[in-house]
């Protein structure tokens, strides 16, 4: 970190790679000065003073990690965090399957402790409780930790670091499984985080971490998974390198379809990385993920996608068609801001999460209405912002479609369904 002031700055910029410490970092994608993707606004009075920060993605020439260097202080970033995991049926099914897999693979019993870092509203740990194991959640967003406790999931409302790892170990004993779903990519001090997890881990335990996979992001043109919270974009190659740095080795790697493509690693204290991890790293090299040129091509394709989306929305508007958004996810805010889609092209969006209804999207200030507004107002087209779960949404909105409504899936190429 470049800051040395005693008071924490909201925005700082790193100069070193989070995995290898190298300084040969080259930018390949600039999404522009961007508001925080989860900082929804309550009233139009807030539009004028809304903060924006650089959102640029860099490639490390030494270890190939794709990452942001601009860091927003977590206290600011997660202050109004309103992503609640319970809202997607796909994710709920994923959680049940996840808990079953971990319990069976590690042979967990009633005395074993499962710790989840960034446990959100406790929905995943509740699935573990059904198997009779002990659970502890760690969730820094106080309002959400409170929800988890109310649902019967013991939860510590602090950020996870080496100090907290020691406290938890002293109070609860070592953990047989330490789970981190979509949290490793969000922490600035990546190596310290993993070192803390290793310290809390039982000797034969596993750190099981799920992160979005850079391979999927690059191949499926998911540039909208870039936002300030999401600091690192990992591959098997970079995860192996990271584990090496803290004395862990991969015991297994799974490629998962959730969140538009994720990697789940099982790391422990072992002599060497598993064969499947090494094979995956070899595939990544074949695909060019170790080369800067592949990332440059990705950025050029993102710019083309922006032009195509704007052309489609412009044409529909000229034809007098009405278009609304479906969903108000963080990724949607990257897409809307990068493309410059405002209320002139998208007068409102709808969302099932009641905590988002009545708010305005960051940057483009699109009002969020309840999901029922889609059936009531019947726009001609609905632009699906969480397009990674488009299939699920289209199925749920059968009534809208039967009444003549059509969907637009914006990425990798805008497609009307």
**Least gap, CB of 25 to Zn ion (angstroms):** 8
**Least gap, CB of 62 to Zn ion (angstroms):** 5
**Least gap, CB of 323 to Zn ion (angstroms):** 42
102, with CB counted inside 10 A (0-12, 13-18, 19+), is: buried
**Least gap, CB of 240 to Zn ion (angstroms):** 13
Residue nearer to Zn ion on the CB measure, 62 or 244: 62
**Least gap, CB of 60 to Zn ion (angstroms):** 3
Q: Which of these, 121, 124, 158, lies nearest to 138 by C-alpha position?
A: 158
Residue nearer to Zn ion on the CB measure, 94 or 241: 241
CA 294 to chain centre: 22
Q: How many CA atoms lie within 13 A of 132 on its CB side?
A: 6
**Least gap, CB of 191 to Zn ion (angstroms):** 11
CB 327 within 8 A of CB 385: yes
CB 179 within 8 A of CB 160: no
Structure tokens at 302: 């993102």
Residue nearer to Zn ion on the CB measure, 237 or 337: 237
DSSP 326-384: E---HHHHHHHHHHT--TTT---EEES-TTTTT-B-TTT-PBEEETTHHHHH--SEEEE
Structure tokens at 268: 């422990």
Residue nearer to Zn ion on the CB measure, 58 or 326: 58
Measured CA to CA, the distance from residue 182 to residue 91 in angstroms comes to 12
Map residue 84 onto helix, strand or coil: coil
Residue nearer to Zn ion on the CB measure, 61 or 146: 61
**Least gap, CB of 61 to Zn ion (angstroms):** 8
Q: How many CA atoms lie within 13 A of 200 on its CB side?
A: 31
Residue nearer to Zn ion on the CB measure, 60 or 316: 60
Residue nearer to Zn ion on the CB measure, 66 or 178: 66
Structure tokens at 241: 């390198």
Interaction site with Zn ion (CB under 5 A) = 17, 19-20, 22, 60, 62-63, 65
């Amino acid at each position: 970190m470049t800051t040395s002031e005693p008071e924490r700055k909201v925005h700082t910029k790193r100069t070193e790679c989070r995995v290898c410490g190298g300084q040969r970092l080259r930018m390949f994608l600039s999404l522009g000065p961007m508001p925080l993707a989860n900082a929804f606004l309550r009233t139009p009075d807030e539009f004028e003073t809304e903060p924006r920060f650089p959102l640029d993605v860099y490639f490390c020439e030494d270890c190939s990690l794709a990452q942001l260097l601009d860091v927003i202080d977590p206290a600011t970033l997660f202050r109004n965090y309103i992503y609640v995991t319970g809202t997607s049926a796909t994710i709920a099914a994923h959680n049940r399957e996840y808990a079953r897999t971990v319990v069976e693979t590690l042979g967990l019993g009633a005395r074993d402790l499962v710790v989840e870092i960034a446990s959100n509203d406790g929905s995943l740990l509740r699935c573990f409780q059904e198997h009779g194991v002990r659970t502890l959640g760690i969730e820094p967003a106080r309002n959400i930790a409170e929800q988890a406790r109310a649902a019967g999931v013991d939860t510590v409302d602090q950020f996870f670091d080496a100090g907290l790892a020691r406290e938890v170990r002293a109070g609860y004993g070592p953990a047989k499984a330490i789970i981190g779903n979509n949290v490793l990519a969000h922490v600035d001090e990546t190596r310290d985080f993993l070192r803390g997890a290793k310290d809390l881990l039982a000797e034969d335990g596993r750190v099981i971490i799920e992160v979005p996979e850079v391979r999927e992001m690059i191949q499926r043109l998911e540039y909208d998974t870039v936002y300030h919270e999401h600091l690192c974009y990992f591959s098997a190659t970079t995860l192996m390198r990271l584990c090496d740095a803290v004395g862990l080795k991969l015991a297994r790697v799974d490629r998962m379809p959730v969140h538009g493509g994720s990697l789940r690693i099982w790391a422990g204290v072992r002599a060497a990385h598993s064969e499947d991890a090494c094979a995956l790293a070899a595939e990544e090299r074949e695909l060019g993920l170790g080369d800067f040129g592949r990332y440059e091509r990705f950025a050029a394709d993102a710019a083309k996608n922006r032009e195509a989306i704007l052309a489609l929305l412009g044409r529909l508007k000229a034809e007098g068609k009405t278009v609304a958004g479906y969903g108000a996810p963080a990724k949607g805010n990257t897409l809307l801001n990068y493309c410059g889609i405002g209320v002139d092209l998208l007068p409102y969006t709808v969302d099932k999460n009641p905590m988002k209804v009545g708010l305005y999207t960051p940057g483009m200030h699109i009002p969020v209405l309840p999901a029922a507004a889609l059936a009531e107002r019947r726009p001609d087209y609905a632009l699906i912002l969480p397009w990674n779960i488009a299939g699920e949404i289209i199925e749920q909105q059968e009534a809208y479609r039967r009444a003549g409504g059509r969907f637009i899936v914006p990425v990798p190429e805008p497609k009307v369904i």
